[in-house]
Every structure is written in structure tokens, then in C-alpha cells.
Amino acid sequence: MTGLTITGGTLIDPVADEERDGVVHVDDGLIAASEPEFAEPLDATGLHVAPGIVDLGVFAVDLPAFVAGGITRAALMPDQSVPLDEPSLIQRAAASGKPDVWIHPIAAATAGLDGEELAEIGLMQRAGACAVATGKSWIADGSVMLRVLRYAAALDLTVITTAEDAGLAGSAVATDGEASTRLGLAGAPAIAEAIAIARDLMLAEEAGARIHFRNVTTARGFDLIRDAKSRGLPVTCGITPAHLILCDVDIGPYRTFAKLTPPLRSADDRDAALAALADGTIDVIASGHDPQGTEAKRLPYADAEPGMAGAETLLTMSLGLVRDGRITLSRLFALLSSNPARILGIPGGSLDKGSPADIVMFDSDAPWKIDSEKMAASAGNTPFDGLPVQGRIAHVIKGGRLVIDRP
């Protein structure tokens, strides 16, 4: 494997929480302390050089979209056509990203993700699972969830859960409020999220387990997470750029590309999410990548499938938060890279010597326009279709190998 020497760029170090000028050496797939004997030069003048993005919680292996978005590691949720509830399925999923992306499968908490019988979590961990998850659904039975948390704690695995009380949410397709009422859409109260969070926090505390709430989107939910952290509980939470930027009025007029899980919230809850980002309550920004084809989205709003193609717009939409002064670039890459790697206990998220050479280089000011018909994703259902943005990937290195090399 040929070495590389990256010069001229501005290094983003989320671990040290700083930006600095510097040189990065790559040798034998790792970040090296000195220039290798046979190193190819890579000029990053005018670019930022950062750890590759670690996307926590994608729902499809979509390699072109991952590469286009600077994602070098993707944690795959167990919600597949055959749920990831057996060791052989974990092994197959882990191999599905070669050679361009590291895929880290997340084990199903229950057999078939049905919320009833525990899956063989220990065997799946040995097969390569990096965490255990309830999937898109909440485990309604508290005794089952407690067993999942206790088992995961014994195995030192993080439990990733969806925070939505299914009994309250029912078949709703929007958040209950003025926007859903005006559109005549069935809405569920936003407290469905907080109720689920409150229960699972108490169960996690009882079990002594680490718990990650994949997508928290309401003021009451953030208050519960904030309080749990203040008491020293090992709890983390994430969010998508869509839930940080959009609110329920962006559904109109019946834009199915904006039908997401959880549904878009009120402007007040969106503002609470931005406040939680600023004060450190939010640990992860993830794409929530769940591409849906035309046949699933070109339907009446109530019948359309929820989900968005978020991988290749993850970085560019998140950079808007930096330009707005809400976070720094180094904090952004803690949210995109180092924090997800730490939560999952996997390599990546660092430019330190000896770390895997997973690196993304980008021009933070490069303008372009999001076009759903030209996306690399398997389906282009993005709520940001047609939006002018800034921030373009120039080079992506995975394990010391150039995956994207744009002039």
C-alpha cells in the first residue's frame, strides 16, 4: 500500500477541539508520525482535512451515497429485509461495504425486531456487531427492554433505541399541531417521544447500561436527556440535519420527501433542538439515511413511506450550522465522527498518530445545488431538493486508500 503525505490543508481535530495548519502522513493504512519512504503527495491547499464521517444509524448500505458524503464508516441499523438477528447476517453485512466503506452492523435487540424474544446478542457481538438496537420501533414491553439493557450491559454494548411511544403515536403521520390540522393529517402528540425517553432512562439506570437515543427532536425530550447527563448517567442522543433545520410547516403542501421518522416537529421544538446542540446535550449528528424509491414516495402523504436520502447531504447541511455560528468546525466533527466512534466503540474519528487513515477533505465554501434527480444515492428523496448549499467533498481516504480524488 502506497503512503501519502497530505499538505497545505487546515486540519480539524475534534479530539483536541481545534483547527490548525499541519501535515498528515499516511502509511500502511494508518496515520503515521513521519513521512513514509515511498509517499505520494496530496495537495490540500484551500481544503479542510478531517477524520472521515462515522454515520451512526443508516438503514441501507448505499456505497455511492456514503462515498459522495465523506462517510468512511456507517453503522447499519438492524432493520433490513431480513432483520440482523443472527451472527451470519451480521458477518454478511460487515462485508457489504468493501472496498470503499467500513460497514459496522448493529444487532437486533429482539428476534425479528418483534419486541418479544431476545435475539442472540452475544453471538452477534462475536460476529462483529458494534451495538444492539430496537430498530425503528420502540419495545413496548418494559420487561423485555429491561432484559435487553441488562444483557447489553453485561456485554459492554450500547443499546440504541427509538424514542416513540407506539401506543400514542399509533398510525399518525405527522406531529399533532396547527400544521397537521390545516393539512388534515393524523397527528400524534410530541410527548410520545418524551414518555418513551423517560421510561427507557429509568430502565437503563436500573440495568446500569449505556443507552443512545438515535433521534431526539422535542424540547421535553432534551430536558430529560439533559437531566440524566447531569446525574452522570451514560446516556447520549443524536439528531439529523433535517430535524435541526426544518419544522412541521415544511410538510406543506403534502411534500412526501419531508415525511420522516420521527415526523418534523413544531418550530418551538426545532429551536429547542438548536439550543440542545449549542449546550452539548446532542452528541451525534447522523444522516438517518433511509432512501425510498419513487413508488414509495409518489403517493398521497398518508400512504407514502417515511424516510430520506441523507448521506450525501449530511456534511453540507451540517456546515450551515457552522456558518450560522451555532457550533465550531471541530465541534461539528466531534458530532459527525469522534463521538459516534466512541459511542459504538469502533475505530475512527481521529487524526491522531496510529489511528486508521480514514480522512475526508472538503471545500467548505464550494457552492452547489442539491438535485434529487442527480444524487448518488439509490433514491434521491431528500427534503432539501433544490436548495443552494455550500461545502463539497474533494477527497476521501478509507484505510489509507483514495476513494474519491477530485481535482
Task: Write a three-state SS string for the chain.
Answer: CCEEEEECCEEEECCCCEEEECCEEEECCEEECCCCCCEEEEECCCCEEEECEEEEEECCCCHHHHHHCCEEEEEECCCCCCCCCCHHHHHHHHCCCCCCCEEEECEECEHHHCCCCECCHHHHHHHCCCCEECCCCCCCCHHHHHHHHHHHHHCCCCEEECCCCHHHHCCCCEECCHHHHHHCCCEECCHHHHHHHHHHHHHHHHHCCCEEECCCCCHHHHHHHHHHHHCCCCEEEEECHHHHHCCHHHHCCCCHHHCCCCCCCCHHHHHHHHHHHHCCCCCEECCCECCCCHHHHCCCCCCCCCCECCCCCHHHHHHHHHHCCCCCHHHHHHHHHHHHHHHHCCCCCCCCCCCECCEEEEEEEEEEECCHHHCCCCCCCCCCCCCEEEEEEEEEEECCEEEEECC
Q: Which domains, from first to last, does the chain contain?
A: 53-348+365-387 (3.20.20.140)
According to the model, what pLDDT value does residue 1 have? 55
**Residue with the three cell numbers 475526508:** 360
pLDDT digits (tens, 9 = 90+) for 288-304: 999 998 899 999 999 99
Residue pLDDT, tens place only, 86-121 = 999 999 999 999 999 999 999 999 999 999 999 999
Residues 224-277: pLDDT tens digits?
Answer: 999 999 999 999 999 999 999 999 999 988 999 999 999 999 999 999 999 999
Q: In angstroms, what CA-CA distances link 246 with 80, 284, 296?
A: 27, 18, 22
- Write out residues in the chain with pLDDT < 50, as ranges: none
**Per-residue confidence (pLDDT) for residue 48, from 0 to 100:** 98
Cα angle 405, 318, 326 (rounded to 5 degrees) comes to 135
Residue 294: predicted pLDDT: 85
Q: Is 322 exposed, middle or buried (0-12, 13-18, 19+ CB in 10 A)?
A: middle
Q: How far apart are CA 284 and CA 318, in angstroms?
A: 11
Gap between the Cα atoms of 282 and 237, Å rounded: 6
Q: What is the pLDDT of residue 99?
A: 94
Is this model's pTM higher than 0.95 or not?
yes
| Beta-carbon contacts of residue 76 (< 8 Å; ≥ 6 apart) | 58, 59, 61, 84, 93, 103, 104, 105, 106
Q: What is the pLDDT of residue 405?
A: 80
pLDDT for res 407: 65
**CB hemisphere CA count around 112 (13 angstroms):** 3
Tell me how far apart the alpha carbons of residues 138 and 200 are, in angstroms, rounded to a whole number: 10
Q: What is the pLDDT of residue 38?
A: 87
